[in-house]
Structure 1
Amino acid sequence: MEIRAAEPADATALEPLFTQWGHPLEPGDVTVQVRRWRDTPRAKLRVAVIDGEIAGMAAIAAVPRLGEVGYSAKLTGLVVGDRHRRRGVGRALLDDVTALAANWGCDRIELTSSRIRDAAHAFYVALGYRETSAEQARYVRAL
């Protein structure tokens, strides 16, 4: 398995992953997203490739914290294709983006996950993540 940066040429192969993740995008929008992540400092979209096929993707970005000194890494997406699940792809992607975050000076990784994704939650807990939703409220406002 190879983990590498996503490139615009990967857009067609990434489309099904966005759909499986529950966030389908138009073909041109996938290319825009890949370029955006490629060109943003301290933000990366990484892909796992097995036998020439993109098996999964993970997106991470460093965010400075205001209330305390330091950076958090925000895992904004992790998805492994249906055919490649339970084969170490998700763990390999998380190991990769964790190393990136550490190199950026981040001291923690934060993520949000839909309440319906029980298997994903168990996966994160098994890798040492702790649920904090009882400690904080999350609010979203469209612009």
Structure 2
Amino acid sequence: MATLVRSFAPAFPALLENIFNDFERVAPAHQHSFPAVNVLESENAFKIELAAPGLKKEDFKVNIHENNLTISTEKKEETQETVGKYTRKEFNFSAFKRTFNLPKSVDSEKIVATYIDGVLGLELPKKEEAKPKEPRLIEIA
């Protein structure tokens, strides 16, 4: 029995290595990817741009809970074609969820979202106290 274990043991790591190497070649096509995101800051607001072509604005859910902004989508497509005795049924499912921790300077009551040409845009205005103040001259007495 020990001979069997010894002769099998060296082959087992090689077998695992082959399986994982095959998985690495196949996995990228099946892995979920997240849309590219740009975050921009100006004096008065933050702007988030999320590239998500092929979706409709109804596909998105944008939520704020506590200080977290969550953008998610879930899309299911199914087609079925029957020709004679042959039936072809295809389906596709895609989903993603991104969460951003908002700074305290964001006025979460005034956030606006748009979806134009495959880009989800969110305008996150800053609270008045967080905006830069005009310089003030202080008189010396």
Same fold (TM over 0.5): no
> So what's the TM-score if we normalise by structure 1?
0.25
Select the structure that is richer in helix.
Answer: 1
Q: Between the two structures, name the one with larger relative contact order (CA 8 Å, sep ≥ 6).
A: 2
